[in-house]
Structures are given as C-alpha cells and as structure tokens.
Structure 1
Amino acid sequence: MAVLSAVHAHSHADTESIIGAVRRDLPEVSHQAVYDSLHTLTAAGLVRRIQPSGSVARYESRVGDNHHHVVCRSCGVIADVDCAPGEAPCLTASDDHGFAIDEAEVIYWGFCPGCST
C-alpha cells in the first residue's frame, strides 16, 4: 500500500523518488521490495510505467485511459496530455499490418514554461 500511495502522491516519479517517499514512513523498506511492488502493481494494472527516450522509468497512477505525455527537453518534467474527445482511438494507424491495435502511446517533446524563457 505504501508504494501505491507514493505513486498516487508523486505523479511521473522515478523509482528512486518512490523509494524516498516510501522510506519516509517505512525507513527499513528495501530497494528490492519497492521494485517488486512496482512490478506487481504495473502487472495488475494499478499503475502505469512509462519510459520516455533517454529517461529512467517513471510511474503514474492514471490508468485505464489512453492519454499521452509531454516531456521538457531541458528539465525532464512530464505532464499528461489528454486525447481529443470522441469515440475513436486517439490515433488510428493508416496500416495496422494485421495487428489488433488496442493502444497508442505518444510522447510530445518541447520546453516547459519554466525552461522556454
């Protein structure tokens, strides 16, 4: 529960940040216990793991929808980007090559307001 609470409290946090948050309440918890918990929570669909190019894995509690992310090229901050409203998926492949596509993942890159000045 402590790992899930940390992910809820710190959106897009990396593993080290989650370990730090968990250890504030449970100082004796091991790195491996947190890694194992993150793996189990991800497999159960309770958290989502993302890993933008050049970044460590990040975790978020927003699951069950098909949203995307925007990443600052300078400071690395990540924010959610909602899909355009409607019943169609966010992206429809022009050629699915026979795949049964059930998700599209897009990462937008740019500079956050703090870094763009």
Structure 2
Amino acid sequence: MGSDADFAERLRATGLRVTKPRVAVLAALGELAHADTDGIIGTVRRDLPSVSHQAVYDSLRTLTDAGLVRRIQPTGSVARYESRVGDNHHHVVCRSCGEIADVDCALGDAPCLTASDDSGFLIDEAEVIYWGLCPDCAAARTPTSTDLT
C-alpha cells in the first residue's frame, strides 16, 4: 500500500502536480487489484465524496501516461487498472467470472518473450494474457462423486 505522502512523492518524482484526486486514485489502486473505473470511483469517494467521475477518469489517464498506473483490457472486459508497473508481468483471466490475477514473467528477461519476427521493431515489452478458469469456477465445474452415480 502506501501513505498519502508516498503517493505525493511518486507524483512529484514524475513531474506531476499533487492533487487530491490523483492521490486518492493511487490509494484506491493500492487497495484494489485490477480495478475497473466504477470500483476506483467508489473507493475514491469514501475519502472524497464530491469527486466527479471526470476527475477520476482524468487522473487515471494522467497516471497511466506518467507510468504510475498500468491499464489493461482483456478481450471482452472493461478497462482495468493496477499500480504494479515496471516489471512487465502478465495476467491470467477466468473465462467464467472474469477474475484477473498477476503472473510473473513467462520466461527469461524482459520483455519475457522473443518475437519470431520483430519486423525491425525494437521490442521493450510483451503483453501476455493467459485464459482459463479460476480455482472457484474450476471447482464448481468439477463433477462430485455423487454426480457420477
């Protein structure tokens, strides 16, 4: 997590102005893993009840552009945000309930994967999304011994 002073220092270190909505968004992302905007707005409004949707959206865009927040959007999902940045980790998404979890680097050094043909690009990041079922959804689909009789 972090304190408001820590968040303010992170903002200053990237040349951003310290504002209450930006600090509140960083704090919310410290509490919420892979949060959508509705979850972030709800969490921010606990401390800043009058904050507008637009202020949160603007803060998310600014923080993402500054590299303090990462935006991910798995196919079929709304945009999600996280505060874990700079390590080129990946994600696993449940096909049933949509839960998202972090997966550390697939193999080797960043960008974790070597493209078979880089087409002349200087690749510095790879984004991988694994798809499957989370433990709860997998357990719900596993037949029990009573189902087999």
Structure number with bigger Rg? 2
Identify if the C-alpha distance between structure 1 residues 86 and 95 changes in structure 2 by more than 3 Å, giving closer, same or farther: closer
Q: 1:31 aligns with which of 44, 48, 53?
A: 53
- CA 115–14 in structure 1, closer or farther in 2 if over 3 Å, else same: same
**Residue 57 (structure 1) aligns with:** 79
Q: Write out the 4+ residue segments of structure 1 that deviate beyond 3 Å after TM superposition.
A: 84-89
Please point out which of 98, 113, 117 is paired with 1:76.
98
Give the structure with the larger strand fraction.
1
* Count of residue pairs the alignment pairs up: 117
TM-score normalized with structure 2 length: 0.76
CA distance in structure 2 between the partners assigned to 1:111 and 1:10 by the alignment: 21
Higher RCO (C-alpha 8 Å, min separation 6)? 1
* Structure 1 residue 60: Cα displacement: 0.3
Distance 2:127 2:108 in 1: 17
Pick one of 24, 28, 42 that aligns with 1:20. 42
One-letter code aligned to 1:38: L
Q: Alpha-carbon deviations, 1:47-74, whole Å to 9, x = none?
A: 0000000000000000011110000001
- Per-residue deviation at 1:8? 1.3
Given residue 72 of structure 1, which amino acid in structure 2 is its aligned partner? C
- Equivalent residue for 1:104, pick from 126, 135, 141: 126
Alignment partner, residue 18 of structure 2:
none
Aligned partners of 2:110 and 2:124 also within 8 Å? no
Identical amino acids, percent of aligned pairs: 80
Superposed CA RMSD: 1.1
Is contact 2:106–2:113 with CA below 8 Å preserved after alignment? no
- Residue identity opposite 1:45 in structure 2: G
Q: Pick the structure with more helix per residue.
A: 2
